[in-house]
A and B are shown apart, each in its own frame.
Chain A
Amino acid sequence: MPYTMSFTEDATPTMTATKLSVDHVNMTFTRDGKTTPVLEDINLEVREGEFICLLGPSGCGKSTLLNTMAGFLQPTSGAIRIDGEPVTGPDARRIFVFQERGVFPWLTVEGNIGFGLAKLPRDERARRITHYIKMVGLEGFEQSYPNELSGGMKQRLEVARALAVNPDMLFLDEPFGALDSITRLVMRGELLRIWEAERKTIIFVTHDIDEAVQLADRVVVLNSRPASIQQIVEIDIPHPRNLSDPRYLELRDGIFQQIGLAHKV
């Protein structure tokens, strides 16, 4: 192999506590009497505060994996644990962020961010709303409705709504997929800024190799149908990452090769 990569086939984290563990997870879908395997023997340990990208081609099952981690789907076999407890369903401590289509169009920016805060006292609620509106740069749009916002603003709104309930994990399912390439770059920077400030554990699904290498601490490369872990690549470049850094290019090209793409157009 021409590239030197730090492989961690069976990562045994030592620095911090394990946040999420996926243990021999298998998943099959049954439709019209036909069973299709979707996930095959997935094993993964995620450390507290880590940024993980699940990378794979469209339709490979990476969203299914993310949905089982978030508790929206139950694996056919195997176990998913967060903080040592088995995941049985969705939980307000772990928020799933869709593409910007998940914001509620009938609520204002304020209403959306305050959505998960109904149980808080009024002043605490207002304080948090103000804080997160500022964090995602939506000042001046407090009373706007989502259809008055651009795609990037809606995406930031959805991230703010998720952060406002102070979750300890975020699941992001191709969150920037619907944005234009310039907004997407800006949003990656914003997400990293927020992640560095709040240190949530983030699981980020993408099919974009560059995006994965720019963001993640580790990139989990998935095989297609059924999804199984092909390799886990540690991205040992500190943030902010220089996109023409030789190490960056080396890691990126390594993943391109791994996936079996000729890196030429």
Chain B
Amino acid sequence: MNALATPKKWEQYFWPLLACALFLALWHYAVLWSHTRIFPSPREVERGMVELIHQHVLWGDIADSLRRVAIGFGAAVLLGVPIGLTLGWYPAADQVVNPTMQLLRPISPIAWIPVSIILFGVGDDAAIFLIFLGAYFPIVVACINGVSNVPAMYRRAGRNFGLTPAELLRKVIFPAALPQILIGLRIALGIAWLVVVAAEMIAVDSGLGYLIIDSRNSGKRYDLVVAAMLLIGVIGLILDLAFRRLERIKSVRWGFRNAS
């Protein structure tokens, strides 16, 4: 395919579907030829998926995972956006806080598991705290960068029209930084979805992460393990696609590629 030519309608669907089919075929024959008794074939996973869907616990698990992400991610947004905007607005404050934040940022939320259990005990709160940690730093960093990358021209135009600092922040800085903030939120949501699965393996007894670990522990049901994995992938994809729809809102679309 020529990278410059716009693909035909059928090509837009055909090639991705072909890649997917090839992946399934590779998986199928790898299982067949290696004579593995443990790892399930695509057909077995499909049957496992059907079994899960017929069990009512699956919907409960999905709802629990989504609820934890919603709370943890929501708290990270509510706390991270104002803090990020403030640090972006006052570079002096950012210089004070930044080294500490850069030190904490590379620590995987998984490493926080023991600490979160000490703080919150084994349960929902510990899992939500881990999601919060995973989402918080990318949000703060995106807000700081978003604000400090606002072109000086916009700030000056705002000041020229006699805005107070509070108005300037609300009417100029925030809308100007919003596309970058949205990118940060999207990354954070992806991380939150990664972390929830890990958190549910340790701290709680419901959710998709728990489903995986429970399927293995209770009878080595690897067909259910892989089915749950695929489900996590599909839901993550849906969350991402849903979030990307925000990029089409007209007042932020200018900040994204392919803006028209």
Contacts and interface: CB of A to CB of B under 8 A. Distances in A.
B59 interface: no
B259 A147 contact: yes
B157 A98 contact: yes
Interface of B is mostly: helix
B178 interface: yes
B145 to A, nearest CB: 17
Contacts of B161: 92, 95, 115-116, 165
B182 to A, nearest CB: 12
Contacts of B176: 104, 106
Contacts of A115: 161, 171
A105 B160 contact: no
A101 to B, nearest CB: 6
Nearest to B162: A92
Interface string B183-195: 0000000000000
B178 A106 contact: yes
Contacts of B175: 104, 106-107
Contacts of A70: 160
A96 interface: yes
B220 interface: no
B153 interface: yes
**How big is chain B's contact interface, by range?**
20 to 34
Contacts of A78: none
Interface in B144-161: 151, 153-154, 156-157, 159-161
Interface in A84-115: 89-92, 94-96, 98, 101-102, 104-107, 115
B156 A145 contact: no
Contacts of A147: 253-254, 259-260
Contacts, number: 54
B162 A107 contact: no
A148 B260 CA distance: 6
Interface in B237-260: 250-255, 259-260
A146 B151 contact: no
B160 A90 contact: yes
A116 B162 contact: yes
A96 B178 contact: no
B250 A92 contact: no
B198 interface: no
A145 B162 contact: no
Q: Which 3 A-B pairs give the minimum distances between C-beta atoms?
A: A105-B254, A92-B162, A116-B161
23 contacts: A90-B156, A90-B159, A90-B160, A91-B162, A95-B160, A95-B161, A96-B156, A102-B153, A102-B157, A104-B157, A104-B175, A105-B254, A106-B175, A106-B178, A106-B252, A107-B251, A116-B162, A145-B250, A145-B253, A146-B254, A147-B254, A147-B260, A148-B260
